[in-house]
Amino acid sequence: MEFAVFSGSDLAQALQNGAVDAIANSDPAASIAEKELGLRPIIDTATDDEYKNEYCCISFVTGDLIKNHPDIAKKFTTAIMKSSKWVSENIEETAKIQVEKEWVSGDPEFNAKVLSTYNYKPSVKGGLEALKTSVPDLKAIGLISDNKTEDEFINDVFVDLGVDENAIFAGEKSDNEKSEETSKDSKEASVPDCCEHEHKESDTVPDCCEENDMKTASDSEKAAAIPDCCA
């Protein structure tokens, strides 16, 4: 088998012209070519029994991001999973947005039919299992070097960021989100009511208070009395 590289938009034409014997492409381009050009699918990873329960793709971030900003990498992963859940629950709206934003070709109605064939439930554990399944095949066709064992390769490229996927698909907030909310509430609760109490004539009034309270303090007193909550 010999691989040839073409741009995604030229794949169907290359097949029609006889430049290649078969092509591999993603939707909706693949489904559009099948419909409009009468191409015959050999394998459909979304619907064929052998592949439909596997993951076709894995999201990734750079090693530098993992090392220096693991919190951002975790938020990215969580966002991908939440958006996939939203897509599964709003297929027609998703198809409409895709076309309106010109992210994909096709028309909303056709693309919605394609989207409805997908299993939109991403999983960190499922992604790891998919990687374990795919690596031997990728090595066999030469896309992964033989310099490392399969386990070494997976350990180098896969990182578990602690994303709570069960909470995401149950519609619950993750432990990280709960922690952030608790921290936010704590900060809000600790803000002094420096601008809410009634000031006596002898009070030094902070700069953040209402204008009618300012008459009790000089300009120098105002500047010196601004508390952290008003900075």
Question: What pLDDT digit, counting tens, does each position of 44-82 carry?
Answer: 888 888 887 777 777 888 989 999 999 999 999 899 889
Tell me the residue range of the domain where 103 lies: 63-176
Looking at the structure, tell me whether residues 127 and 226 fall in a common domain: no
- Distance separating alpha carbons of residues 197 and 229, to the nearest angstrom: 14
Structural domain includes residue 187 = no
pLDDT above 80 (res 128):
yes
pLDDT above 70 (res 85):
yes
Looking at the structure, tell me whether residues 133 and 205 fall in a common domain: no
Structural domain includes residue 42 = no
- Distance separating alpha carbons of residues 60 and 170, to the nearest angstrom: 24
Looking at the structure, tell me whether residues 169 and 74 fall in a common domain: yes
Question: What pLDDT digit, counting tens, does each position of 182-206 carry?
Answer: 555 555 555 555 544 444 444 454 5
**Token representation of residue 200:** 């006596």
Identify the pLDDT of residue 143. Answer: 85
Peptide bond into 41 cis (omega under 30): no
Question: What pLDDT digit, counting tens, does each position of 156-175 carry?
Answer: 888 888 888 888 877 655 45
- Distance separating alpha carbons of residues 64 and 130, to the nearest angstrom: 24
DSSP 212: G
Looking at the structure, tell me whether residues 27 and 75 fall in a common domain: no
Looking at the structure, tell me whether residues 29 and 80 fall in a common domain: no
Structural domain includes residue 188 = no
Looking at the structure, tell me whether residues 77 and 134 fall in a common domain: yes
Structural domain includes residue 184 = no
Looking at the structure, tell me whether residues 23 and 121 fall in a common domain: no
Structural domain includes residue 171 = yes
Average pLDDT, whole number, for the chain? 77
Which has more pLDDT, 32 or 57?
32
Identify the pLDDT of residue 216. Answer: 47
Please tell me the total count of domains within the chain: 3
Looking at the structure, tell me whether residues 73 and 157 fall in a common domain: yes
User: To the nearest whole percent, how much of the chain has pLDDT over 70?
Assistant: 73
Structural domain includes residue 53 = no
- Distance separating alpha carbons of residues 228 and 195, to the nearest angstrom: 12
Identify the pLDDT of residue 188. Answer: 54
The tokens 């960021």 sit on which residue? Answer: 161
Q: How confident is the model at residue 131 (pLDDT cuts 50, 70, 90)?
A: confident
Q: Which helix (H) or strand (E) holds 2?
A: none
DSSP 9: G
Q: How confident is the model at residue 95 (pLDDT cuts 50, 70, 90)?
A: very high
pLDDT above 50 (res 23):
yes
